[in-house]
Structure formats: C-alpha cells, structure tokens
Amino acid sequence: MTPVNCDNMNPLIEKIKEVEKPALKLEPGTEQRDAYRREVTRYSKDFLHRLNSDNAYNGNNDKTIINSLEVSETGKPLPQLLEIFEKAVEKPGINAASQGHLGYIPGGGLYPAALADYLAAVTNKYAGIYFGSPGAVLIENKMLDWLKEIMQFPKEATGHLSSGGSIATLTAITAARDAHAVTGAAAEKAVIYSSTQAHHCLHKAIRIAGLSPAIHREIPIDSQHKLPPDMLEVQIKKDKENGLQPFLVVSSAGTTDTGAVDDLDAISNIAQTYGLHHHVDAAYGGFFILVDSLKNQFKGIEKADSITIDPHKGMFLPYGIGAVLIKDTLSTMKSHHYKANYMRDAYSDDVDLSPADLSPELTKHFRGLRMWLPLHLFGVQAFRSALEEKNLLALYFEEEMRNNGFETGGKPELSVVIFRYKGDLNEQQAETFNNELVRRIHLDGRVFLSTTTINRQTWLRCAILSFRTHLSTIRQTVDIIKKLKKEIKAQNLE
Ligand SMILES: *Cc1c(COP(=O)(O)O)cnc(C)c1O
C-alpha cells in the first residue's frame, strides 16, 4: 500500500492550520523578543534610577486606572502596557524597592535575582521533581543545605523553599502534628505554646492544619518582649498534670513587631525535657546569624526541630521565597509525599528528595535559582556585611531617637527600633501625638514607617532591612522625624 497524502481531504487538518496562525503569535521571533526585552530593561533601568528621588510611599490612589486593566481579545502594545504598569502598579502604595521603606519588614529585590527569574522562566525547568530536572532540584537542595549549615542543622534534615514564611510555617506545623499523631479526638487535648508576639501566620497554620480544636496558649511577653521560659515551663507542667498533651512550642528569632529574639536555648531545652516539637520562627531574623557580633543571640537554634527563614527578607531577594528546615523527614513526608499512577516514571532512580515530596506544591516556580545566583555571584561576605550594616544603622537610629527626647524599646537586638514621643504629655495626648506623627510621615512619603500597639500604646517602628538603606537614608529619617515633631509641638495638639 502506498501512503496517501490526505491533508487536503481531512477537515481536522484544515482546522489545525487555521488556528495555528494566530497561535503562533505566542512565539515571537528573535527581533520581536529583543524589542520586548529592550522595552522592559529600559523600564527597569529608569525605575532603578527613579528610586533615588521617588517617594517610599504614595497614599494617593488613582482609581480610574483600573479601567485600563481590562483584558482584551487582541492585546495591546508593550509600551502601552508598561505605561499602565507604571501608573497602576509602580506608583501607588509602598515602594518596596525603595531605600526609604522602613515599615513592616522591608522588601529587597536584588537585581541578579530578577535575572535568575528570567532564566528560570525562559528555560522553564520543572523544579518539583528530581526526575524532571535533576539540576533544578539539586540547586534547590543545595540552597537548603547551605541554610542547614548556617543554622547548624544536621545534613540529614529536610525542608523546602516555599513561596514565603507562611507556607514554610504551615509545613513545619503539619510535620509537628504528624510526628505527635495529633489527629481526631487527640487534638482536643493537644497544647501549642507561643508568646503573644507570635506572627499571625502561626494562627493561620494552626487552622489550616486542622488544629483549631487544640489549645493554643499565648504566654504573655516579658519586659523585653520575649517569651519567658520559666512561665512556659510552669504552664507545660501544669497542663501535663491536668492530662493535656503539650506537643508544640513556637518561639521567635526576631519578632515582626519589635525584633525580639527569644531565649532559644532555654526553650529548646524545655522542649527536649518535655518532649515537645520546638519550631523557631526566624522568618525575619534568621539571616542575622551570619553576623559574628549577633551569632550568640541564636544560641540553641540548632537544637530546635524546625525553622522558618525567609530569603525574601534577610537575603534581600524579591518577594516569593521562604524556607523551612525540619529535622524529622518522615513526618514531613507523611503529609506531603504522594505516589500517583501517572507519575510512575518519576521515582525510578532519584538520588535526591524532591520538593514535591516535602511541600504542598507539585508544579512550582524554580525559585531556588533566584537565591543561588545572587549568593554565588556576590559571595556570603556581601550579605554578612549588609546585615551587620542594618543592625548598626538600627543602633544608630535608636540612639538618635533617644537623644531627641523619644522613648524607645531599648537597644535593638537586630534591626527593628520601636519608639514613641511622650515628653510631658499625658497618655491621651501622647497617643494623639504619635498617631499624628505617623500620619505626617506618610503624607511626606519620602520614607515609610509603620506602627504597632504594645500594651495598648501606639509605637512607631523603624525596620531596617532593605539592602538599599544606608546611613544617608537613616539620617534623612531622623531629620524628617525631628522636623515633624517640632511642627506638631508648635500646634499644641490636644
Ligand atoms: C514575615 C514574617 C512571617 C510570614 O512570612 P511571609 O513570607 O510574609 O509569609 C512570619 N514570621 C515572621 C516573624 C515574619 O516576619
């Protein structure tokens, strides 16, 4: 039999050819790609240039821009879309790339991380499973190995690079739950301990992990905003005596509010004595362990059972990368490992565990590359120095605030300073004063600071963690605060 070319007769082929043409628009040629890239790099270059003069905060939102975000059937030219991006996305709100971002926990955005994301997207390697891309999984695992090393965790510990600290914490809480078999009716007698300063992602993780029936004891903080180990121990003993099952304690290596580092060594020892899983939330503070002068504050972290640490905070990476380290690999796999029929090929000869076995994700962003590239390009020393610089800037800022008549939360442990003005005002007046101060800082917009409530008082926070924040920005911040304080005083606010 001779093969017959039946292209012309098959209506299916006709249809394929018909839709192929418009579909080809999705694969621009070399010239078009170069043109796109030039537009985007020009925009990024201008953006980075603008950072020097642009505000850190813009509270004026132009709501009309929302109309331009409508999806169209035919598409729009790139320059027009970049214009929309500038107006709708870049300008309003907090400029998280700005050196003046000193609120919440500031963001980063190391440039090579953006290039790594570009490479990850263009090559689109499948980082979920070793079989799919051994190289991508090895790079992610190498990054985890490095994190284990700096935290003095054993090499056999496991973990994954997550989208952020919240998902990292969820994985750790789930592993603790499974290690202690906290299911069904057992959950009602299970007890979780943290201080009142625990990040709210813990509360979310508890709910998502089905641990809402468990008792969550939030131990009041001491005068230094830390979890008091003696009170923790007393409570655990009491709960055990009453037939409850304490199984998890969550401490903080740098709280979001005040940057306080709990006594990790004492808490680790208590956890070991009473057989509890000790999880350390080091999402914000963890990378300060790289700084020699601060290392001692993290003593005992190596004895913990799991750690959350956020490279999109302390490594200045763009948003979208956290990490969890967990010593108990089997318990981690219990919730996350899955062998599906359609994935038969994937398990034949894996030499490394895959992220898909250790995290809720299957198909995932190859986010290890955005950590790997800057770390290898710059070396650890650059990060160490930048983190030490942030700590020193915080010490300097706290000193300046005190010298200018502000109350502070004391010498900052890492890089968060809390302060408020009291002077000879009564409590009511002081509240009004400090709220007015932050309102005017936001209105000015050159730097962005946030507030928190501690003991029912409003405190301003200066959180220094952007790699772009140097002495000049902190001096500028001090000047702005001094000037605004003078203005408010002159108006004699009641
Ligand atoms: C930011 C933060 C988290 C939550 O991490 P995300 O990356 O925002 O999900 C948890 N704990 C602390 C102490 C944090 O600072």
pLDDT tens per residue across span 259-281: 999 999 999 999 999 999 999 99
How would residue 340 be classed by pLDDT, with cut points 50, 70 and 90? Answer: low
Nearest-5° Cα angle at 390, 385 to 396? 120
Residue of the CA atom closest to atom 8 of ligand 1: 165
The pLDDT of residue 90 is: 94
Q: Kindly tell me if the per-residue pLDDT of 4 is higher than 60.
A: no
How would residue 352 be classed by pLDDT, with cut points 50, 70 and 90? Answer: confident
% of the chain exceeding 90 in pLDDT: 88
Entry pTM: 0.95
Under 8 Å CB-to-CB from 356, ≥6 apart: which residues?
128, 129, 336, 338, 362, 364
How would residue 420 be classed by pLDDT, with cut points 50, 70 and 90? Answer: very high
Q: Kindly tell me if the per-residue pLDDT of 290 is higher than 90.
A: yes
Q: Is the Cβ atom of 461 under 6 angstroms away from ligand 1?
A: no
Question: What separation in Å is there between the alpha carbon of 93 and the centre of ligand 1?
Answer: 20
Q: Is the Cβ atom of 256 under 6 angstroms away from ligand 1?
A: yes
- Give the model confidence (pLDDT) of 227-264 as tens digits: 999 999 999 999 999 999 999 999 999 999 999 999 99
Please tell me the distance from the alpha carbon of residue 326 to that of residue 155, in angstroms, as a whole number: 11
Q: Kindly tell me if the per-residue pLDDT of 338 is higher than 90.
A: no
The pLDDT of residue 346 is: 58
Q: Kindly tell me if the per-residue pLDDT of 354 is higher than 80.
A: yes
Q: Kindly tell me if the per-residue pLDDT of 494 is higher than 90.
A: no
In 56-161, where does DSSP find H-type helix?
78-85, 111-123, 134-150
Give the SS3 label for residue 8: coil
Partners of residue 452 on adjacent β-strands: 459
Q: Is the Cβ atom of 262 under 6 angstroms away from ligand 1?
A: no
Q: Kindly tell me if the per-residue pLDDT of 187 is higher than 90.
A: yes
Q: Is the Cβ atom of 166 under 6 angstroms away from ligand 1?
A: yes
Residue to probe by mutation, ligand 1, list 225, 284, 464, most atoms within 8 Å of CB? 284
| DSSP annotation string for 73-102 | SS---HHHHHHHHIIIIISSEE-TTSTTB-
The pLDDT of residue 2 is: 55
Q: Kindly tell me if the per-residue pLDDT of 7 is higher than 70.
A: no
Question: What separation in Å is there between the alpha carbon of 199 and the centre of ligand 1?
Answer: 7
Residue to probe by mutation, ligand 1, list 162, 169, 201, most atoms within 8 Å of CB? 201
In degrees and rounded to multiples of 5, residue 159 shows phi and psi of 155, -175
The pLDDT of residue 93 is: 93
Q: Kindly tell me if the per-residue pLDDT of 350 is higher than 80.
A: no
Using alpha carbons, select from 118, 95, 112 the residue that is nearest to residue 47: 95
Residue of the CA atom closest to atom 5 of ligand 1: 165
Q: Is the Cβ atom of 284 under 6 angstroms away from ligand 1?
A: yes
The mean of the pLDDT values for the chain is 94
Q: Which tokens belong to 437?
A: 């101060």
Q: Is the Cβ atom of 128 under 6 angstroms away from ligand 1?
A: no
Provide the CB-side half-sphere exposure for 415 (13 A, CA): 30
- Give the model confidence (pLDDT) of 37-94 as tens digits: 999 999 999 999 999 999 999 988 777 777 777 888 999 999 999 999 999 999 999 9
Using alpha carbons, select from 165, 183, 47, 22 the residue that is nearest to residue 111: 47
Partners of residue 326 on adjacent β-strands: 158, 306
DSSP at 221: P
DSSP at 482: H
Please tell me the distance from the alpha carbon of residue 159 to that of residue 175, in angstroms, as a whole number: 10
The pLDDT of residue 347 is: 55
Question: Is 7 or 206 the better-scoring residue by pLDDT?
Answer: 206
Q: Is the Cβ atom of 283 under 6 angstroms away from ligand 1?
A: yes
Residue to probe by mutation, ligand 1, list 199, 301, 306, most atoms within 8 Å of CB? 199
